[in-house]
Structure 1
Amino acid sequence: MTESENLLEEIFEKFGTAFERIPESSTPHEKTPDYLVPIGDEMSYWEVKERDSNEDEEAISNPVDMGVSETYSVNSQRIRNSIKSACEQFKNYRVTDSPCVIVVYDARPFSTKDLLFYPEIKAAMLGDAEFMASNNGVIKEISRKMHC
C-alpha cells in the first residue's frame, strides 16, 4: 500500500467510516478502484492517486535541498493524467450510477510542487472551456473539452 492509501485508511478509521479495499484485478491493464465506501444506502467508489517526484523533479529538488537553487514550479499535466486514469479505472470496473471519488495526494517535495496544481484539478474535473466575447461585451462559452 502507498503512503496515501495508509493515510486515507487512517482518516476513514478516525471518523468511523466503513470501507472495503477492492482487490486488484488479475487482468493485465484492467485496474480497479481502491475502495468501496457505503454512503447511506448507496455505495461509492474511491481511487487514490499519489504523485511522487519523477526523475526531472528529483534533478530540480536535489540542488534545492542543498540550498543551491530556489523553488521551481513544475507545470505538468500529470494531475490531469492521474484523474483521467482514475476515470478509466471506474469505467473498467463498470461503475456507472454510483458516486466516484478521486483522492489526489501530492507527496512531492515543496521545491517541485506544481503551482498550477489546483487549476489543473479544476480543468481535469470541468474540462477546458473556450469563450467568445461579443462586441456588446457579452461573454459566452462556445466549447468545452472534457477529460473524463
Structure 2
Amino acid sequence: MNHQLSIPLQIGGGDHNAYLVSRPDRDFTEQELALARLLQPILTLLALHFGIAQSNSGASLDGSAHDLTAREMTIVTLLSQGLTAEGLARRLSISPRTVGKHLEHIYRKLDVRDRLMAVQTAHELGLLTATAANFRFNDTEHDRP
C-alpha cells in the first residue's frame, strides 16, 4: 500500500493547492504528522512569496482579488501578530519608511484606514488564516533594538 500525506496550502480563494508526500513502506507517525502541521504555514508563506501558488486562472492565490503582493501578505501576517512599524522594519530588514509605503498600499487595496481593519479584513477575506496569523517568524535577532 502507498501511504500519502497531504499538506494543504492555507490560502483563501476557490482553488486548492497542497504538497503531497508519499511513501510505499509505512504510514506516517504522530511525530511526522505534527511536523507537517508545523510546516503548513511555512509552506504557505513560501509558496506565496515565490509565486508558486497559482490559481487555474493564473491569478495569484495570495489575495488576487485585492492584488496583494507576497511581501504585503507577509506584512499583514506580521501585523496580525501585533508588530509595530518599527518591529516590522527590524524583522524584515527594511526601513520604517518602506514599511509605511507597504502599509499604504495594503490599506488602499483592502479599502481600510488602519492596521486593525487590515488584519480583520484579511481574516474575513480568507487571506489570513488563524494558523498563519499565529505562525511566529523565528528570527528573534531582528526584534532586538
Mark yes or no: TM-score above 0.5.
no
Higher helix share: 2
TM-score by length of 1: 0.24
Q: Larger Rg: 1 or 2?
A: 1
More strand per residue: 1 or 2?
1
TM-score for the superposition, normalised by structure 2: 0.24
